[in-house]
Structure 1
Amino acid sequence: MLNLFIAGAHVRRAIEQVCRSYDLQFSHYNVLRILRGAHPEGYARCDIIDRMLDPSPDVTRLMDKLEDLDCVERRRSQADRRVTLHFITEAGLDLLQRMDPDIQAVQDSFAASVSDRDLAHLSRICEGLYSNMPHPDTEE
């Protein structure tokens, strides 16, 4: 497990360095990536938290920063006025598009250090780990 943590931290630091070069934190990038996947429908706050790599109860603060950057827009749901939906804006999509080559370079660097066969095997191992372990937020 220690090797898994070390390898994950190493790759994450490389992605965080890319994020810093765009004046973002990793969590901001993660939220934008999630909202790009939901574009154009958007997600409610709870749906974003469920999809985050590092779930944070302070998504509102993250959204405030992304809204200040004109990357996210919030609107009340028409179906349920109690729910606020979050949407990625064109500026947010443009930012991710500018970041994509730098993120891809980190992925390419990772892939270059491991054979395709080992990458596929690593992927299967990781999927086995997280699909068979109880989720920390649920009771056993």
Structure 2
Amino acid sequence: MDTLSYKTISANKATVQKEWVVVDATDQVLGRLSAKVAKLLRGKYKPSYTPHVDCGDNVIIINADKVILTGNKWTDRVYLNFTGYPGGQKKTSPAELIKKGEAKLFNRVVKGMLPKNKLGAQLLRNLYVYAGSEHPHAAQQPKTIDINSLK
């Protein structure tokens, strides 16, 4: 048997196949949806996944204003920011973040599920969040996928 034919293929910036994907957030739970979106951004659903390369898709989330949180999490969940100065700890809730814009809430949640390095910051730039059902990325010919069909 020829053992040289079984080489592990590692993707790089030139060989990666990036696609555009549309995800509808209507009546989806925020955390479960964000976990699947983070996997799409990272490229973990692809057979050519490479941990140190941006091989994920560009994800467009539409109807982000119709996302749900179970229980009293809209008001009881607390997100903490720290400026680095004494007394600089700020508290926000998901309800306050969604008032500032749906993108702020989704970026906050998905960012926590990505690597904490330069690659994670680069992957987060591939996420686009819109409140309504319209988006300006029609020229990229994105595919609409059912997020519930993904594991």
Same fold (TM over 0.5): no
Higher helix share: 1
Higher strand share: 2
Q: Is the radius of gyration larger for structure 1 or structure 2?
A: 2
Higher relative contact order (CA 8 A, sep 6+): 2
Which TM bucket (shorter chain)? under 0.3
TM-score by length of 2: 0.24
TM-score by length of 1: 0.25
